[in-house]
Amino acid sequence: MQGLKLQMSAPHGIEPLLKTKKGFTLLELTITLAIMAVISGGVFLAFRQPDRRNLENASLQLQADLRYAQRRALIGGQPISVLFEPTHSRYRIMATYSEEEIRAVYFRDGVRLRYSTRDSLTFHTRGTPTGGFRIRLSNGRYWQELTSTVSGGRIEIFSVTTTS
């Protein structure tokens, strides 16, 4: 078996094609450009989304603070007020009788308090609010609205659409 050598070669018609291929075809370039366009579009959208996320986070923070004020009024047996200050783009949670400031929240990352149907909202000791309200937060490109309605002595907060 020492004298046996195996030789492998390409079929007769393929060898010239393998040696002459240089560069890329138009189809390969088109596919590559399409893939690059999809990737760059995804990167662009990823960098644009923080605006929307910042607005949603501010809305969730406000929603949580309103529920906090409601619970604190229920548990503490003292009315709690939430004062909305659109000119300073903030709201403050305060104990109504003692006027002690519990928390002041400033909106950041370009989020502004654009609209509020009332200057303040007070949660009474049973957890009931003084009435319904509507608050609009905006960052220039998008807006998000929080609404409150009184139903059955409790407050329900609905986060409404974010649009451009």
* 87 phi and psi angles, rounded to 5 deg: -65, -30
pLDDT score for 48: 63
Strands (E), 52-153: 80-85, 90-95, 101-106, 112-116, 120-123, 133-138, 143-151
Assign 134 to helix, strand or coil: strand
75, 145, 138, 130: CA torsion to nearest 10: -40
Domain boundaries, the chain: 50-159
Chain segment 41-61, per-residue pLDDT in tens: 887 776 666 777 888 888 889
pLDDT reading at 26 higher than 70: yes
User: Which amino acid makes up residue 156?
Assistant: E
* Contact between 83 and 69 (Cβ < 8 Å): no
Task: Look up the CATH number of domain 50-159.
Answer: 3.55.40.10
Look up the pTM and report it: 0.65
- Smallest CA-to-CA distance from 115 within 144, 141, 156, 92 is with 144
Compute the mean pLDDT over every residue in the chain, rounded to the nearest whole number: 79
Average pLDDT over residues 20-25: 73
Average pLDDT over residues 135-144: 83
CA distance linking residue 58 with residue 109, whole number of Å: 9
Chain segment 106-130, per-residue pLDDT in tens: 988 888 887 677 788 888 888 888 8
- Smallest CA-to-CA distance from 96 within 112, 72, 118 is with 72
